[in-house]
């Protein structure tokens, strides 16, 4: 099995586990994978501390299956959406629950970067106060994005916003992994995983996309 298929199957598994507790057998049925394939994925997720086994279901006959569920506190990430004149930043756990949210407006390029720092500084400060370790930052920005270097090569929204190495400046400041993507792509991912734009950050990303 190649790496892309393994990733796809893992994401498919995690998506189901984010929605409900489920046994390995039912998880295999839901994903269309073999029990052996699901077993390997689940073991890896358990070893990483992302998934844990829960109570058994009593069915009177035979050995009851063990339920699996996501560990909410296993991973915490910061999500950032940059719109035409506003930055939305939030902290989420591994189940997608928003634990903190900061929304601020900006007027120009200089205030954009400063506002970005202020937002994320606030989230990191509150996270530290609550003994939460942030593992990564994801940023949705407008325009054609160089994903490897983490900047917008061309954008119709901010003429002078191009070629700012967001990946580098955020990684240098916060010492965590940083991922920069096009805002429309990020909105589509959020819609796929959570549906309906139910969270503040997703709604702001969708609004920003509509303004392009």
Domain match, 127 and 198 both: yes
Residue 25 has pLDDT above 70, yes or no: yes
> Token pair of 79, please?
């999500």
pLDDT tens digits along 90-121: 999 988 889 999 999 988 777 888 899 999 99
Structural element, H or E, at residue 68? strand 66-70
How far apart, in whole angstroms, are the C-alpha atoms of residue 115 and residue 38?
Answer: 44
Residue 8 has pLDDT above 90, yes or no: no
* End-of-domain residue from the set 39, 70, 101: 70
Pick from 157, 193, 190: nearest CA to 203: 190
Q: Give pairs for 1-10: CB < 8 Å, separation 24+.
A: 9/33, 9/37, 9/41, 10/41, 10/44, 10/45
Residue 75 has pLDDT above 50, yes or no: yes
* End-of-domain residue from the set 70, 92, 113: 70
> Token pair of 48, please?
């990483």
Q: How many domains does the chain have?
A: 2
What are the distances in angstroms from CA 36 to CA 33, 79, 195?
Answer: 8, 34, 30
Max CA separation in the chain (angstroms): 68
| More confident site: 2 or 208 | 2
* Phi and psi torsions of 161, nearest 5°: -90, -10
pLDDT of 142 reads 77
How far apart, in whole angstroms, are the C-alpha atoms of residue 120 and residue 91?
Answer: 9
Domain match, 116 and 185 both: yes
What are the distances in angstroms from CA 183 to CA 55, 128, 157?
Answer: 40, 28, 12
> Token pair of 159, please?
């003429």
pLDDT of 106 reads 86
Domain match, 56 and 159 both: no
| Range(s) of the domain holding residue 32 | 3-70
Q: What letter would DSSP give residue 80?
A: E
CATH number where 18 lies: 1.10.10.10
| More confident site: 200 or 46 | 46
Q: pTM (2 decimals)? A: 0.76
pLDDT of 46 reads 93
Domain match, 62 and 132 both: no
């Amino acid at each position: 099995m190649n790496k892309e298929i393994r990733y796809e199957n893992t994401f498919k598994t995690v998506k189901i586990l984010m929605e409900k507790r489920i046994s390995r057998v039912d998880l295999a049925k839901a994903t269309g994978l073999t029990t052996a394939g699901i077993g390997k994925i689940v073991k890896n997720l358990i070893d990483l501390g992302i998934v844990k086994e829960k109570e058994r279901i009593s069915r009177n006959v035979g050995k009851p299956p063990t339920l699996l569920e996501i560990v909410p506190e296993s991973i915490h990430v910061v999500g950032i959406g940059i719109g035409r004149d506003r930055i939305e930043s939030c902290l989420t756990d591994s189940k997608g629950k928003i634990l903190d949210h900061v929304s601020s407006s900006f007027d120009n390029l200089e205030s954009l970067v400063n506002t970005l720092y202020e937002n994320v500084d606030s989230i990191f400060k509150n996270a530290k106060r609550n003994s939460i370790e942030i593992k990564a930052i994801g940023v949705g920005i407008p325009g054609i994005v160089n994903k490897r270097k983490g900047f917008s090569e061309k954008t119709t929204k901010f003429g002078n916003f191009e070629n700012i190495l967001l990946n580098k400046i955020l990684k240098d400041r916060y010492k965590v992994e940083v991922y920069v993507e096009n805002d429309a792509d990020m909105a589509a991912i959020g819609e796929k995983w959570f549906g309906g734009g139910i969270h503040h950050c997703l709604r702001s990303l969708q609004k920003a996309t509509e303004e392009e």
